[in-house]
């Protein structure tokens, strides 16, 4: 469940060049940061979680400061809606992701993302993502990354 167990630095960026994902949010494997790519829906990014997520991450066994690999589901300006089950709609389209197993931490209702807000999601019912901690800022995103080897 650790992202970034193995981390290779790049002098041009503070973001790690390589990350290992052992979490349940995205396929397990080795991810490499891509150069020159912009953030956009569908891209995989490393997320520096908000401070408010710290206690929950510690309870899940993540070390402090741990990055989370997630997929961008919505960009600034999109209307996002969440239901109690964790199902999410972006601009009126329901996303094809399973509902969260633990729906007690889900925000509900609809909101339009601000000019510096991104919705990031995992792909499983066990993911800890924007359904739990809300949108994140551009400063909290690193990458994008692509899967280079899975296991």
- Interior angle at CA 5, CA 134 and CA 137, nearest 5: 25
Which stretches within 28-68 are classed as H helix?
A: 54-59
**C-alpha distances in Å from residue 139, one per residue of 39, 48, 93, 106:** 12, 8, 27, 23
Six token digits for residue 100: 């969260």
Rounded to an integer, the average pLDDT of 133-145 is: 96
Residue 37 has pLDDT above 90, yes or no: no
Residues across the chain: 151
Rounded to an integer, the average pLDDT of 129-135 is: 91
* Region label for 109, one of left (φ > 0), alpha (ψ between -120 and 50) or beta (otherwise): left
Residue 81 has pLDDT above 60, yes or no: yes
């Amino acid at each position: 469940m650790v992202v970034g167990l193995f981390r290779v630095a790049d002098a041009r960026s503070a973001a790690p060049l390589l990350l290992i994902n052992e979490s349940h949010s995205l396929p397990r494997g080795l991810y490499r940061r891509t150069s020159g790519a912009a953030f956009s829906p569908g891209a995989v990014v490393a997320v520096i979680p908000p401070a408010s997520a710290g206690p929950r991450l510690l309870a899940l066994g993540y070390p402090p400061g741990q990055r989370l690999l997630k997929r961008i589901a919505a960009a600034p300006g999109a209307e996002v809606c969440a239901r109690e089950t964790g199902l999410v709609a972006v601009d009126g389209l329901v996303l094809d992701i399973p509902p969260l197993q633990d729906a007690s931490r889900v925000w509900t209702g609809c909101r339009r993302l601000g000019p510096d807000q991104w919705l990031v999601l995992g792909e499983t019912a066990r993911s800890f993502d924007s359904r739990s901690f809300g949108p994140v800022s551009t400063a909290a995103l690193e990458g994008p990354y692509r899967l280079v080897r899975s296991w």
